[in-house]
Chain A
Amino acid sequence: EVQLVESGGGLIQPGGSLRLSCAASGFTVSSNYMTWVRQAPGKGLEWVSLIYSGGSTYYADSVKGRFTISRDKSKNTLYLQMNSLRAEDTAVYYCARGRQWLIDYWGQGILVTVSS
Chain B
Amino acid sequence: DIQMTQSPSTLSASVGDRVTITCRASQSIGRWLAWYQQKSGKAPKLLIYDASSLESGAPSRFSGSGSGTEFTLTISSLQPDDFATYYCQQYNNYSTFGQGTKVEIK
Contacts and interface: CB of A to CB of B under 8 A. Distances in A.
Contact of B94 (A37, A101, A106): A101
B94 A47 contact: yes
Interface of B: 1, 32, 34, 36, 38, 42-46, 49-50, 55, 87, 89, 91, 94-100
Given A102-B34, A103-B34, A44 B87 contact: yes
B95 A35 contact: yes
Contacts of B43: 94, 106-109
B46 A46 contact: no
Contacts of A85: none
Given A44-B100, A45-B87, A109-B43, A104 B95 contact: no
A50 interface: yes
Per DSSP, are chain A's interface residues mostly helix, strand or loop, or mixed? strand
Nearest to B93: A101
Interface residues of A, number: 21
A27 interface: no
Contacts of A35: 95
B92 to A, nearest CB: 8
A37 B91 CA distance: 13
Contacts of A50: 94-95
A48 to B, nearest CB: 9
A104 B46 contact: yes
Given A44-B97, A94-B44, A102-B91, 11 more contacts: A35-B95, A44-B98, A44-B100, A45-B44, A45-B89, A102-B46, A103-B34, A103-B36, A104-B46, A104-B55, A106-B43
